[in-house]
Structure 1
């Protein structure tokens, strides 16, 4: 860090400050502050807690069935007929001229998507793709929890696979990981390091897809983290790695704070940080003119500034859904659960502008520049056939409260080895200097060359390589 400080600062201060005074003073002050911050710091953890989310009150009649049961996704003809009938009766409205994606999903392009969904999309074919990996369900805290579990097909003699729990977010699903799974379980056949092989567990968050929705209020990210910890124990894993983005980032971070002794490493492609207060504001102000003084890199500067336009204004444009879902999710959920066209527009809009903000300037939202319509609609179908859009949105209601910045996890740090992949088109950017205020053991921080919010879905090769690099540092392979 101090070499970076010296290198970056030399050109700016060359004519004003004598380096013989600047560097020792900076190193001495920084070292003193670091020692003061670390002195007396002990590894703390969040209480694991307990919960019951099934129907009725928990009793001896409601003990969890601890069996891990095989699960198969089916394409029911009744579901397909109902979908086609609803798509045939879609009521479209006339869009504004040249509105593109600035007002949301473009109504003209929605007609194209709906036509493809109705006449070309083959749900039977996509279900076969979904079932190519083994699916299971098990009952935890009264809920049937769905997950995909993929073991590497081949291991060298004496080689062990690293257990990796990968958690999706909203409006994604376990299907986001289908393109990255073979890269992690069979890396040698895909040009990746054959010495680092993973065993993948991809659960559906309760209330999403094929995981049962909580029947009671209060199911938040902490409850999901606890359930996934119990899932890993049930599968026989006492130690494991974690990976997540979006809600998956929040859930895996909480699990790391609950059970740091079980988490060998935490890898994130989306970082949630407390607001930061006056210190963050000072960092932004100083960083605009002298980034090296506050530990910001050239890449950080490109991602952060102009701050109002690139960050604050973009968040305002993209966060309207969050205010709805964090207050009255069931209202909009009633409409989306009834209309497949509405559901597709609501979900696919996020796969446009969250992938690349500039896609809002395109008539078709740039959707097929990064994804296929088959893949996008398969993700939508997971929400449609399970009727889970309303229950998935309730996770916002349960997590965003007046005390969001004063929850137990904000009072302690994350002590497990952490890797961060910073994708340039992500909704928010968390510089390493900010992230390390919460994540105390960052062993890798990578500025990715391209990609946005749905990293595993969009750039599986980049994410897989970064995961391997992170684990190699933790394992010292």
Structure 2
């Protein structure tokens, strides 16, 4: 996927560009940064892969959190611990048995339930929206997103990315630092699967352009908080524009 995006930008005639992503978009953006295709200046992420190896190893062994963690680091540990223990069901299903999800193509209600229950904090936000709250999304925004998958019949095919990636046998976890050397701008939203601490981020990205802890936002920040997202995206790459 990363090579395809780089090829697309080349065919479109871009000689200088940046990439941005969260979730799988971050994984693709970081792989692009590792490949360093001509023209890619920097990347931005709202779900950074910044977990230090010693933290990832300790969590994998089921150890208690180190006593040396700062308050921000301990919060990130607790968020990751919750996700690994109680939030990975959907990913395991798509990674191991994606074809059993054919029911998503048979029932719009089933598809809605599957998509809304992505992660705990996002689901809580969506519940508040349907209860009449103002959260950056409307009921129509949520239903439009589900409808897009329903009308195009892409719920099952999109899930296969998890299975395909597992077959490649890549090393490291989804949140583990990958050794990106290109400049990176990071948006850290409080209700993301984990809010990456600045202390971890500066080590994961030695050419860190900007790190910002946002006051509000969940896993789907670009969808849910577009104004702060775009503002931060522009601010993160400001120095690159100034250098032209």
Q: 1:444 aligns with which of 195, 206, 210?
A: 210
What residue ranges of structure 1 are gaps of 5+ in the alignment? 1-223, 292-297
Higher relative contact order (CA 8 A, sep 6+): 2
**1:261: how far off?**
4.0
Q: Is the 8 A contact 1:225 1:251 kept in 2?
A: yes
The residue correspondences of 1:83-94 to structure 2 (distance < 5 A) are none
1:240 match: 17
Aligned counterparts of 1:396 and 1:242: Cα–Cα separation in 2: 21
Q: What is the Cα-based RMSD across aligned positions, in Å?
A: 2.9
| SS of alignment partner, residue 400 of structure 1 | helix
Aligned counterparts of 2:68 and 2:191: Cα–Cα separation in 1: 20
What residue ranges of structure 2 are gaps of 5+ in the alignment? none
- Does residue 413 of the first structure (1) align with residue 194 of the second (2)? no
| SS of alignment partner, residue 430 of structure 1 | coil
1:40 match: none
Change (3 A) 1:426 1:278: closer
Aligned counterparts of 1:411 and 1:311: Cα–Cα separation in 2: 14
1:287 match: 68
Question: Would you tell me which structure has more helix in proportion to its own residues?
Answer: 2
Work out which of the two has the higher radius of gyration on C-alpha atoms and give 1 or 2: 1
2:220 match: 454
Q: 2:100 aligns with which of 319, 331, 335?
A: 331
Aligned counterparts of 2:55 and 2:117: Cα–Cα separation in 1: 34
The residue correspondences of 1:257-406 to structure 2 (distance < 5 A) are 257-273=34-50, 276-277=53-54, 281=58, 284-288=65-69, 291=70, 300-301=72-73, 303-304=75-76, 307-308=77-78, 310-332=79-101, 334-350=102-118, 353-355=120-122, 359=124, 365-368=127-130, 369=133, 370=135, 371-400=137-166, 403-405=169-171
The alignment's TM-score, normalised by the length of structure 2, stands at: 0.83
Aligned counterparts of 1:279 and 1:375: Cα–Cα separation in 2: 35
**1:411: how far off?**
9.7
Q: Is the 8 A contact 1:274 1:405 kept in 2?
A: no
Aligned residue pair count: 233
